[in-house]
Structure 1
Amino acid sequence: MRLAMLRADPKLSRFDPLPRIISHDDFSRGHCGWSQLVGNYEDDLDTMLPGYAQHTSAMLSTLGHWDAGSHGGYDSSYALKIATRPKTGAQNVAIKRLTFRKRCPIRFEAYFTFKPEATELKLSETDVRSVGFLFDLQGGDSDGDAERVMPHLRFLNALDGEHVQKWQFKRETTTFKPIGATDKTLSHYHLAPDGWEDVPHGAQRLCYNEIPTKINWTYLRFDFDLASMQALSFQCNDRVFDMSGFDSIRIPAMKNLWCMLNFAFFAEADTNKRAFLYVDSVCVSGDF
């Protein structure tokens, strides 16, 4: 009966959720809780680390372009648009902030696509450096082994104009820095360019259409166990990747982030041109 109900709903039948759907974000209904990743600050916005200061708000977009108007989403008019500034190496992040009620397996599924801003009459397939996603997790205050765990995965599309096309993960962050003078706030920029490692056999050629305004939607699925704080599986389109060598950024638990369950998407530019990551829909499900 459950399977029949899922398959009867076109917006859910494209996903393969675990027994309980935690959130289903269809951006034809609005931002669905996804917002700008604002860095920590105290007393003055200028205390924010530079990596966070570059971030701007995600937008709802019809995927407009100059040659044919609007592309639209997977099956509606809108998708979530995460746009960088027009500067080589610029990044932007959108985040959804939740908490969990049980440490269990969770599944993160999404349909996404990416493009540079179409400012030239050429393919521009190497103008986006990377797109990816991350979780920001922490155990509950009653967990004796609680730590903050941040799995990161990115598709490195290009680097310094060279097409790369491979998946990478990260287990190192930058040094924590105190923010302000009260010893209450720390910050670290975990999307700094250093420390990325290749997913074993992680090379993949994604669909990137023949002119700079065409797009095709790509499916991804990431399974993670909140009990063991370990990745279980990663799939992109028809490829399932070996995650045996994967690990996450791991840092001591922080005093006010108990049961944190955050998800984020990010984009990065490889030229002085805006990079766009579009997300049509997201389904987060769990086994509880």
Structure 2
Amino acid sequence: MTLDRHEIASALRLADPALSRFDPLPRIIAFDDFDRGFCGWTQLVGNYEDTLDAMHPGYAQHSQAMLSTLPTWDFGSHGGFDGSYALKIATRPRAGARNVSIKRLTFRRRGPIRLEFYFTFKPEANELRLSETDVRSIGFLYDLQTGDQDGDAWRIMPHLRFLNALDGAHVQKWQFKRRNEPFAAVGAGNKTVTHYHLAPEGWEDIAGGGQRLCYNEIPTKVNWHYCRFDFDLATMQATGLACNDREFDLSGFDSMRIPAMRNLWCMLNLAFFVETDTDKRASLFIDSVCLSGDF
């Protein structure tokens, strides 16, 4: 029996324990296992010019992600999905605070891409109670721009979040955001603008997007979840969302769309974020990320 190159590539991936937990498209663009370090993930710093005081306060609250063994006060370190470390994105201890980690890439061809990752989330375990409604939301986004030779030039920003809780109520549903936030000039050079696209207003429910995730019985236990998001760079449309055993209808989904910016051609940024619902830190942990494409 002779195998073609796609069958050979699939067999090799299935033989690799680190990759076999994913279902990637044929070309792996990035595989980030945080036992190897930060893998290019960094703090989302807001735009500024001349002075850091020009930064939008939404961005000024962000801090650098950490590599974490998920330490706990009661049983030591939890560790990652299959190793010691995960990427930890933590908010400040203020209700409504959020933090973002970003990976900055560019694309070489317009085609289907797939983002897969394993995640879990918890608030700071500073109370002897479950605290299942202390994390407001966790989410992810792309920040994309068409190529400089494209006739129809746009910046496109698909946003998705799992709204876990809001003002103490346990909500547990997936949402998207297509509302554009206002732009403001930064500095006097007419080169930089800012817009806080993660502002809390404008989120919409995904049809049938309610989902109850595993949240273990004491404030320090975690369980890892799988998530997959499919997107087509040719049409700039989302094509699929799955979390654990659920697949969701994205027929009503849309992205933020703004005119292309003069220096962001072929941009392919991806980011994760977390928000807290109480005056304690909330953390999103990412164990591993696989970004793949069909080109």
Find the partner of 2:229 among 213, 222, 226: 222
Amino acid of the residue matched to residue 204 of structure 2?
A: E
Once residues 173 and 272 of structure 1 are traced to their aligned partners in structure 2, the CA distance between those partners, rounded to angstroms, is 28
Paired residues for 1:242-257 under 5 Å: 242-257=249-264
Establish whether residue 184 from structure 1 lines up as the match of residue 198 from structure 2.
Answer: no
Amino acid of the residue matched to residue 94 of structure 2?
A: K
Amino acid of the residue matched to residue 251 of structure 2?
A: S
How high is the sequence identity, in percent, across the aligned residues?
A: 74
Amino acid of the residue matched to residue 281 of structure 1?
A: S
Establish whether residue 37 from structure 1 lines up as the match of residue 44 from structure 2.
Answer: yes
Q: CA RMSD in A?
A: 0.4
Establish whether residue 195 from structure 1 lines up as the match of residue 202 from structure 2.
Answer: yes
* Secondary structure of the corresponding residue to residue 218 of structure 2: coil
Find the partner of 2:68 among 61, 68, 87: 61
Amino acid of the residue matched to residue 155 of structure 1?
A: F
Establish whether residue 76 from structure 1 lines up as the match of residue 83 from structure 2.
Answer: yes
Give the equivalent residue in structure 2 for 1:96.
103
Once residues 55 and 69 of structure 1 are traced to their aligned partners in structure 2, the CA distance between those partners, rounded to angstroms, is 28
Find the partner of 1:15 among 17, 22, 33: 22
TM-score when scaled to structure 1? 1.00
* Secondary structure of the corresponding residue to residue 247 of structure 1: coil
Asked if the contact 1:111–1:281 (Cα under 8 Å) also holds between the matched residues in 2, the reply is yes
Give the equivalent residue in structure 1 for 2:148.
141
Once residues 153 and 108 of structure 2 are traced to their aligned partners in structure 1, the CA distance between those partners, rounded to angstroms, is 14
Asked if the contact 1:31–1:80 (Cα under 8 Å) also holds between the matched residues in 2, the reply is yes
Deviations 1:86-121 (A, max 9, x none): 000000000000000000000000000000000000
TM-score when scaled to structure 2? 0.97
Residue 5 of structure 1 deviates from its aligned partner by 0.6
Amino acid of the residue matched to residue 196 of structure 1?
A: W
Once residues 173 and 27 of structure 1 are traced to their aligned partners in structure 2, the CA distance between those partners, rounded to angstroms, is 33
Residue 3 of structure 1 deviates from its aligned partner by 1.6
Establish whether residue 25 from structure 1 lines up as the match of residue 19 from structure 2.
Answer: no
In structure 2, the gaps of 5 or more residues are 1-7
Amino acid of the residue matched to residue 223 of structure 1?
A: D
Once residues 104 and 117 of structure 2 are traced to their aligned partners in structure 1, the CA distance between those partners, rounded to angstroms, is 17
Amino acid of the residue matched to residue 50 of structure 1?
A: P
Residue 4 of structure 1 deviates from its aligned partner by 1.3
Residue 19 of structure 1 deviates from its aligned partner by 0.5
Once residues 9 and 113 of structure 2 are traced to their aligned partners in structure 1, the CA distance between those partners, rounded to angstroms, is 18
* Secondary structure of the corresponding residue to residue 109 of structure 1: strand
Residue 173 of structure 1 deviates from its aligned partner by 2.6
Deviations 1:196-253 (A, max 9, x none): 0000000000000000100000000000000000000000000000000000000000
Establish whether residue 158 from structure 1 lines up as the match of residue 165 from structure 2.
Answer: yes
Asked if the contact 1:173–1:189 (Cα under 8 Å) also holds between the matched residues in 2, the reply is no
Once residues 95 and 119 of structure 1 are traced to their aligned partners in structure 2, the CA distance between those partners, rounded to angstroms, is 28
